[in-house]
Amino acid sequence: MVPETVAQEPLIRLENLNKSFVLADGGRFDAVRDVSLTVNRGDALGLIGRSGAGKSTLLRLMNLLERPDSGRVFVSGQELTALGKAQLRDARQKIGMIFQQFNLLQNA
Protein backbone atom coordinates (compact mmCIF):
# COMPACT_ATOMS: atom_id res chain seq x y z
CA MET A 1 0.00 0.00 0.00
CA VAL A 2 1.24 3.51 -0.88
CA PRO A 3 1.55 5.92 2.09
CA GLU A 4 -1.18 8.59 2.01
CA THR A 5 1.23 11.53 1.63
CA VAL A 6 2.90 9.87 -1.37
CA ALA A 7 -0.46 9.00 -2.94
CA GLN A 8 -1.58 12.65 -2.71
CA GLU A 9 1.47 14.30 -4.26
CA PRO A 10 1.61 14.49 -8.06
CA LEU A 11 3.64 11.84 -9.83
CA ILE A 12 5.05 14.47 -12.21
CA ARG A 13 4.90 18.23 -11.79
CA LEU A 14 6.41 20.71 -14.23
CA GLU A 15 6.63 24.38 -13.30
CA ASN A 16 7.19 27.05 -15.94
CA LEU A 17 9.59 25.00 -18.10
CA ASN A 18 11.45 26.78 -20.88
CA LYS A 19 13.92 25.37 -23.39
CA SER A 20 15.25 27.04 -26.50
CA PHE A 21 17.91 26.16 -29.04
CA VAL A 22 20.25 28.36 -31.06
CA LEU A 23 19.68 28.04 -34.81
CA ALA A 24 22.41 27.97 -37.47
CA ASP A 25 21.56 31.55 -38.48
CA GLY A 26 22.03 32.72 -34.87
CA GLY A 27 18.32 32.94 -34.13
CA ARG A 28 16.60 31.09 -31.31
CA PHE A 29 13.89 28.44 -31.45
CA ASP A 30 11.64 28.15 -28.39
CA ALA A 31 10.94 24.41 -28.25
CA VAL A 32 9.15 24.63 -24.89
CA ARG A 33 7.78 27.91 -23.56
CA ASP A 34 6.43 28.33 -20.02
CA VAL A 35 4.92 24.83 -19.72
CA SER A 36 3.37 23.83 -16.40
CA LEU A 37 1.47 20.60 -15.86
CA THR A 38 0.62 18.05 -13.22
CA VAL A 39 0.27 14.30 -13.75
CA ASN A 40 -1.27 12.44 -10.82
CA ARG A 41 -0.92 8.73 -10.10
CA GLY A 42 -3.26 6.79 -12.38
CA ASP A 43 -3.52 9.61 -14.94
CA ALA A 44 -2.85 9.03 -18.64
CA LEU A 45 -1.06 11.76 -20.58
CA GLY A 46 -0.87 12.16 -24.34
CA LEU A 47 1.17 14.77 -26.19
CA ILE A 48 -0.10 15.59 -29.66
CA GLY A 49 1.38 18.10 -32.07
CA ARG A 50 3.03 18.63 -35.41
CA SER A 51 6.65 17.80 -36.07
CA GLY A 52 8.92 20.28 -34.30
CA ALA A 53 6.27 21.35 -31.80
CA GLY A 54 8.43 20.38 -28.79
CA LYS A 55 6.85 17.06 -27.74
CA SER A 56 10.11 15.11 -27.59
CA THR A 57 11.93 18.02 -25.96
CA LEU A 58 9.26 18.19 -23.25
CA LEU A 59 9.63 14.46 -22.56
CA ARG A 60 13.42 14.80 -22.41
CA LEU A 61 13.00 17.67 -19.95
CA MET A 62 10.84 15.48 -17.69
CA ASN A 63 13.76 13.17 -16.89
CA LEU A 64 16.47 15.79 -17.45
CA LEU A 65 18.02 14.20 -20.53
CA GLU A 66 17.77 17.89 -21.51
CA ARG A 67 18.23 20.57 -18.86
CA PRO A 68 15.61 23.33 -18.97
CA ASP A 69 16.76 26.92 -19.47
CA SER A 70 14.42 27.74 -16.59
CA GLY A 71 11.65 26.10 -14.60
CA ARG A 72 11.47 23.09 -12.29
CA VAL A 73 10.75 19.37 -12.68
CA PHE A 74 9.41 17.24 -9.82
CA VAL A 75 8.95 13.45 -9.91
CA SER A 76 7.24 11.87 -6.89
CA GLY A 77 7.85 15.07 -4.93
CA GLN A 78 11.59 15.17 -5.63
CA GLU A 79 12.88 18.20 -7.53
CA LEU A 80 15.07 16.72 -10.27
CA THR A 81 16.27 20.13 -11.45
CA ALA A 82 17.96 20.68 -8.06
CA LEU A 83 19.96 17.42 -8.14
CA GLY A 84 23.62 16.96 -8.96
CA LYS A 85 24.84 14.32 -11.42
CA ALA A 86 25.17 11.46 -8.90
CA GLN A 87 21.81 12.20 -7.26
CA LEU A 88 20.12 12.47 -10.67
CA ARG A 89 21.61 9.13 -11.71
CA ASP A 90 20.11 7.56 -8.57
CA ALA A 91 16.70 9.20 -9.20
CA ARG A 92 16.65 7.93 -12.80
CA GLN A 93 16.79 4.35 -11.50
CA LYS A 94 13.09 4.82 -10.68
CA ILE A 95 12.08 6.45 -13.98
CA GLY A 96 11.20 4.54 -17.16
CA MET A 97 10.87 6.00 -20.63
CA ILE A 98 10.05 4.42 -23.97
CA PHE A 99 11.43 6.34 -26.93
CA GLN A 100 9.59 6.82 -30.22
CA GLN A 101 12.56 5.43 -32.14
CA PHE A 102 14.97 2.95 -30.64
CA ASN A 103 17.71 0.60 -31.73
CA LEU A 104 18.45 -2.87 -30.43
CA LEU A 105 22.13 -3.68 -30.13
CA GLN A 106 23.41 -7.17 -30.78
CA ASN A 107 25.62 -8.78 -28.18
CA ALA A 108 29.17 -8.56 -29.42
Q: What is the DSSP string of 17-83?
A: EEEEEE-TTS-EEEEEEEEEEEE-TT--------TTSSHHHHHHHHTTSS--SEEEEEETTEEGGG-
Q: What are phi and psi of 14, to 5 degrees?
A: -110, 135
- Tens of pLDDT, residue by residue over 21-49, are 999 999 999 999 999 999 999 999 888 99
- Tens of pLDDT, residue by residue over 67-101, are 999 999 999 999 999 999 999 999 988 888 776 66
| Domains located in the chain, CATH noted | 4-92 (3.40.50.300)
